[in-house]
Amino acid sequence: MKNDQPNIFYTVNDLREFLAIASKQGKRIGFVPTMGNLHEGHLDLVRRASDLSDIVVVSIFVNPMQFGPHEDFDTYPQTLNLDCHALAGYDCAAVFAPTVREIYPKGLSTEIDVPRLSTILCGHHRPGHFKGVATVVCKLLNIVQPDIAVFGNKDYQQLQIIKTMVEDLLLPVQIIGTDTRREPNGLAMSSRNAYLLECEKQLASILYCALKKVAKAVQDNTQIKATLRQQKERLISAGFVLDYLEIRDAEDLSMTYVESDTAVVLVAAKLGDARLIDNVIVDLSK
Ligand code: PAF
């Protein structure tokens, strides 16, 4: 189904009524959860969802529960009109743009936690963040009840947490990860890149270079520790405040990647006002 402008729904009831008709017609529902401020990376997710389903729903909800007290919830870019405009012409039948009260009508007495995966890496630096993500994604999946839901591989830890949650809670949805869309200089696209000055955007490209250098060392199984140390030093001396640059097992994010088929090199670092994350997967079976 090609749409010029997606239908916009603000309430759970209205969206459910709309989707009930699609379900009765036997249509496969694809879902792309977002926090809005859509860029080409998000549109890739919509394209992927549309390839795999008959009707695509995009949610746009800046979820307060996943922001820490000193994080950017109040300043996070909210651009609903522009986002709907960007979705026109894509196969997006519905945008769900609820208020905070719609998603958390009685505050919060139930939380979803995937504790082991949520307390390492970004979870260590952003306590409570992934509990907020897992909770809102679980709610959104319950509202939309899609057959498939598409997420970006850029938020690699988030993707593994969501996959684990879906498996553990036996949710009837297939979770799909999609390749990271990059700027020509290699910088992973992210809504938070808007916080970077132009010169910082250029500098930020070395994050991806660092990941690729470490990934190559892992792939070749040579000088891994030395490469990791050099790349950490390089990022720090370029002005990044490094949260981590690590190699992990790609599935359970444990440190024992050596025994697995796939590893992932992950980075998180602050540059100016932006906290940037990125990763590169390494196929060790070759
Ligand atoms: O990746 C994001 O944009 C958010 O964490 C998500 C999955 C939409 C949950 O708020």
CATH of 7-178, one of 2.40.128.260, 3.40.50.1820, 3.40.228.10, 3.40.50.620: 3.40.50.620
Q: Which of 136, 142, 175 to mutate to test the pocket of ligand 1 (most atoms within 8 A of CB)?
A: 136
Sorted by where each begins, the domain ranges of the chain are 7-178, 191-277
- At 60-71, the pLDDT tens digits run 999 999 999 999
Q: Helix %, strand %, coil % for the chain, to 5? A: 45, 20, 35
Predicted local distance difference test score (pLDDT) of residue 260: 84
Q: Which of 31, 72, 103, 133 to mutate to test the pocket of ligand 1 (most atoms within 8 A of CB)?
A: 133
Q: Is 133 in the pocket of ligand 1 (CB under 6 A)?
A: yes
Of 39, 42, 125, 129, which is the active-site residue? 42
Nearest to 6 by CA among 78, 86, 62, 79: 86
* Those residues with Cβ within 8 angstroms of residue 119's Cβ, 6 or more apart along the chain or in another chain: 127
Predicted local distance difference test score (pLDDT) of residue 2: 53
* Those residues with Cβ within 8 angstroms of residue 208's Cβ, 6 or more apart along the chain or in another chain: 182, 186, 187, 188, 278, 280
Q: Is 178 in the pocket of ligand 1 (CB under 6 A)?
A: no
Predicted local distance difference test score (pLDDT) of residue 3: 56
How far is ligand 1, taken at its centre, from the CA of residue 258, in Å?
A: 30
Q: Is 161 in the pocket of ligand 1 (CB under 6 A)?
A: no
Q: Which residues of 231-258 are buried (b: 16+ CB within 10 A; e: fewer)?
A: bbeebeeeebebbbbbbbbbeebeeebe
Give the torsion sign (CA, 159, 160, 165, 170): positive
Radius of gyration of the chain (CA): 19
How far is ligand 1, taken at its centre, from the CA of residue 159, in Å?
A: 10
Residue whose CA lies nearest to ligand 1 atom number 3? 34
Residue 144, CB-side half-sphere exposure with 13 Å CA sphere: 33
Superfamily of domain 191-277: Pantoate-beta-alanine ligase, C-terminal domain (3.30.1300.10)
8 A C-beta contact, residue 96 and residue 60:
yes
**Can 42 be counted among the known catalytic residues?**
yes
What are all long-range contacts of 126-132, with beta carbons under 8 Å and residues at least 24 apart?
126/68, 126/71, 127/68, 128/65, 128/66, 128/68, 129/66, 129/67, 129/68, 130/66, 130/157, 130/158, 130/161, 131/65, 132/63, 132/64, 132/65, 132/66, 132/67
Predicted local distance difference test score (pLDDT) of residue 1: 45
8 A C-beta contact, residue 97 and residue 80:
yes
Q: Is 175 in the pocket of ligand 1 (CB under 6 A)?
A: no
133 CA: nearest ligand 1 atom: 9
How far is ligand 1, taken at its centre, from the CA of residue 236, in Å?
A: 28
pTM, two decimals, is 0.97
From first to last of its 286 residues, what are the pLDDT tens digits of the chain?
Answer: 455 789 999 999 999 999 999 999 999 999 999 999 999 999 999 999 999 999 999 999 999 999 999 999 999 999 999 999 999 989 899 999 999 999 999 998 899 999 999 999 999 999 999 999 999 999 999 999 999 999 999 999 999 999 999 999 999 999 999 999 999 999 999 999 999 999 999 999 999 999 999 999 999 999 999 999 999 999 999 999 999 999 999 999 999 887 789 999 999 999 999 999 999 999 998 7
